[in-house]
Amino acid sequence: MSCCYQNYESLLGRLILAGDELALTGLWFEAEVENDILAAADLPGPDLPVFRQTRAWLDLYFSGRIPDFMPSLQAHGTAFQRDVWELLRQIPYGETTTYGAIARELAARTPQGRMSAQAVGGAVGRNPIAILIPCHRVIGRNGTMTGYAGGVQRKEWLLRHEGYLLL
């Protein structure tokens, strides 16, 4: 089966879910996607099991509860991007990390022993599954709110929602 789309109305506006029979492959804020995807999300389509699981996860999350399950995710990207996204998934609810900390973690795994925080930032910015792969939990080294594809205001909202006290 090819990719299917579905809408989800959140406290932060419309989210677009993308998935197939196996996994969720995308979750974006409405402003991040092209018009043809928005149109596809508006068409009646199959209510895939992964869409039901994702809606249940999001319902719990936006109600202030910490979901105790994760829908199957399949984020498509380079090996480096997938490594970064896997580290993002390990950031606990209500906590943050920095691009530099992720770069140091990855550097410890590489023969060169070096990794650029800017390269990590590029991979974080290409995360195709917002919120569930929590790129909003990555902040600048001095605690600043750096860019977020859904907008910095949404990033701040998500962090406050999780109980993270912003500076």
Nearest-angstrom CA–CA distance, 12 and 29: 8
Question: Are 130 and 13 within 8 A, CB to CB?
Answer: no
The answer to whether 135 is a known catalytic residue is yes
Query: Which one is catalytic: 4, 15, 106, 135?
Result: 135
The set of catalytic residues is 135
